[in-house]
Amino acid sequence: MKTAVINQKTIGRFQYQRHSLGLYINGTELKAGMLRFQNQTSPQIKHTFYLLHGGNGDDLQPIEAGLFETLPEQLVKKLETLGVQFIMPYIGASFLYDHIDPKQSYLRYFKEQIIPEFEKETQTNHQTRFLMGYSTGGQAALNNFLATPQNYRGVGVHFPALIHYDFLSSDSMNTYQNRTGADPNYLKIATQCFQSVFPDLVTFSKYNPLEQIQFLGLPELYGKRIYFDVGSLDEFGLFEGCEIFHESLMKKDIPHFFETVSGMKHDTDFLKARFAGLVSYLIQDL
């Protein structure tokens, strides 16, 4: 794969580069952001964090939201000592679904193109690789982590799209809306998003963290870092699915961090308020 840097800028002590990967899925050119400390090159990178954007955004979204400017100086210094890089690939609203057509599979693209390319010549391995994300990207990070926990040290996500209704049934959607108070306009967007990716519920179940966790236990997730949070006013009603996921982890005695944040919504303000805490938790034992 031939990559080319199409733009770059300095963000505090970080150097950001946006890469064109020379690949396309459904006519969309695939790009990815890379954030490293200015004084570090590939051989000095020891830890890689993959940050997956939301369904209405692209690889630029975390940068445009100003997430890295929210990291306090003490945390930035620790990240520099650890040799951390952040990789932000474009994944559409794919949930990293492994499409039957290899040329349309974002999951294969992520595993076979993104990870090898950005970990090339670094010291990253399965013990120093992390998944992060938010909204649909948070769901993608969780489902990929749970499918292959042996490939990652941990996962951290904000308001992951853990829906708890049948997205193929309008009655189920309406019941969910009444139960959670989800905004009907937001719910329509979420429903259309899931319908556009998953052909049926059987297929979806393979990528649904609420079901995946039922087949995992402490032996598979021992020593992993798991973080997720959501706002009490989330317009998609995602606090319900997050609470169910939390309860499943509790029943299996799997260590994790979860919080429903009072008064916060599904928006950039939430991300900027909580991003530093997520990063801090993931690197706590490094």
Tell me the residue type at 127: Q
**C-alpha span between 92 and 95 (Å, rounded):** 8
Closest C-alpha to 274, from 164, 132, 137, 129: 132
Proportion of the chain above pLDDT 90, given as a percent: 95
The pLDDT of residue 3: 86
- Total of domains in the chain: 1
The whole-number mean pLDDT for each consecutive block of 10 residues of the chain, a chain of 286 residues, reads 90 97 91 97 98 96 98 98 98 94 92 96 97 98 98 98 96 97 97 95 97 97 98 98 98 98 98 98 96
CATH classification at residue 151: 3.40.50.1820
The pLDDT of residue 87: 98
Tell me which residue has tokens 């079901």: 211
pLDDT single digits (tens) 227-247: 999 999 999 999 999 999 999
Q: What is the pTM of this model?
A: 0.97
Do 33 and 88 touch, CB atoms closer than 8 A?
A: yes
The pLDDT of residue 167: 97
Do 131 and 141 touch, CB atoms closer than 8 A?
A: yes
**C-alpha span between 244 and 250 (Å, rounded):** 10
The pLDDT of residue 215: 96
pLDDT single digits (tens) 93-111: 999 999 988 889 999 999 9
The pLDDT of residue 97: 95
Tell me which residue has tokens 């790009």: 31
The pLDDT of residue 26: 87
Q: Share the mean pLDDT of the chain.
A: 96
Contacts of residue 105, Cβ cutoff 8 Å, sequence gap at least 6: 97, 98, 99
Range of the domain at 182: 4-282
